[in-house]
């Protein structure tokens, strides 16, 4: 009878430990969200008074960290350079993953990654094993930064003649990071997004390529780079690539038909 409660409890689900990787990961996101809110609510985060309200700062920080692209303030004209850099940092960390970013920074600084840190990275990357996890983290960070920098360089070539070298470099970097992480933020200003460049393929095509590459998982990109043949790809890679291609073709075709119909109706003598 003394052991009955313990035996009865064996069939019940275990309550997660307060220090479990899942809870620590959620806590890290909440802490970073709070830090972003605090920074964006500072007077230095806006070009001119008044500063952002706490609700607007919280919404902007949450949207940037979770890469949703929803905004309640104009990032390009309302936020200062400091505020834009806060948003950019949240986008990068949110797209890369908090633990992936912190682990990469720790490795670069020569710090030893603890077991708890490895468990949190495994939770974030949905991995069931710990061996080779730090190496995988470095690979994810390296591929992400390489693609973003390549996209930024192409965008800089397109914008340098219009904006000047320095401003074009900043524009290129911000939009490359935002596009690859599918964040939807821009600093064009006036809530215009990229509409001023709707007839500039040298801007739209690199950004579209970054959006597509960012939408594919690291597993798919590494599988394509490693195998290089359709027949050798994993089933997951084939499904992701074929579905992405189908949606792009259907979406482009439907938009072309809509624009064509609109043009015909506009120039029709009976309109």
CA distances in angstroms from 223 to 95, 122, 217, 238, listed in the order given: 20, 19, 10, 10
Task: Match 């802490």 to its residue by tokens.
Answer: 31
Which phi and psi angles does 46 have, rounded to 5°? Answer: -120, 160
- For helices 81-96 and 165-180, the axis angle rounded to 10 degrees is 30
Mean local confidence (pLDDT), 21-39: 84
Mean local confidence (pLDDT), 6-32: 61
| pLDDT score at 102 | 55
Contact 36, 151 (CB under 8 A): no
Asked whether the predicted pLDDT for residue 38 surpasses 90, the reply is yes
Residue 126, Ramachandran bin (φ over 0: left; ψ between -120 and 50: alpha; else beta): left
* Rounded CA separation 152/168 (Å): 9
Q: Which comes out higher in pLDDT, residue 246 or 133? A: 246
Asked whether the predicted pLDDT for residue 62 surpasses 70, the reply is yes
Write the pLDDT tens digit of every residue in 201-244.
999 999 999 999 988 877 788 888 888 888 888 888 899 899 99
- Single pTM value for the model: 0.78
Asked whether the predicted pLDDT for residue 186 surpasses 90, the reply is yes
């Amino acid at each position: 009878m003394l052991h009955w409660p313990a035996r009865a409890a064996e069939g019940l689900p275990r309550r997660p430990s307060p220090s479990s990787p899942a809870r620590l990961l959620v806590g890290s996101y909440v802490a970073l969200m709070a830090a972003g809110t605090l920074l964006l609510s500072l007077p230095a985060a806006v070009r001119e008074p008044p500063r952002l309200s706490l609700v607007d700062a919280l919404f902007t920080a949450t949207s940037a960290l979770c890469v949703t692209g929803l905004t309640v303030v104009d990032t390009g004209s309302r936020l200062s350079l400091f505020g834009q850099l806060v948003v950019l940092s949240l986008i990068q960390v949110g797209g890369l993953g908090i633990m992936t970013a912190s682990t990469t920074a720790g490795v670069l600084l020569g710090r030893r990654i603890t077991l708890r840190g490895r468990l949190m990275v495994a939770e974030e990357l949905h991995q069931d094993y710990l061996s080779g996890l730090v190496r995988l983290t470095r690979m994810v960070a390296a591929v992400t930064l390489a693609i973003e920098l390549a996209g930024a360089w192409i965008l800089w070539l397109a914008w340098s003649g219009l904006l000047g070298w320095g401003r074009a470099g900043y524009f290129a970097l911000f939009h490359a990071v935002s596009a690859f992480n599918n964040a939807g933020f821009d600093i064009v200003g006036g809530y215009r997004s990229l509409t001023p460049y709707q007839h500039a393929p040298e801007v739209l095509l690199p950004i579209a390529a970054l959006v597509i590459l960012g939408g594919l998982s690291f597993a798919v990109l590494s599988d394509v780079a490693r195998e290089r043949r359709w027949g050798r790809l994993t089933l997951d890679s084939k499904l992701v690539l074929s579905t992405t291609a189908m949606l792009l073709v259907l979406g482009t075709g439907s938009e072309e038909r809509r624009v064509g119909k609109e043009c015909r109706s506009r120039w029709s003598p009976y309109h």
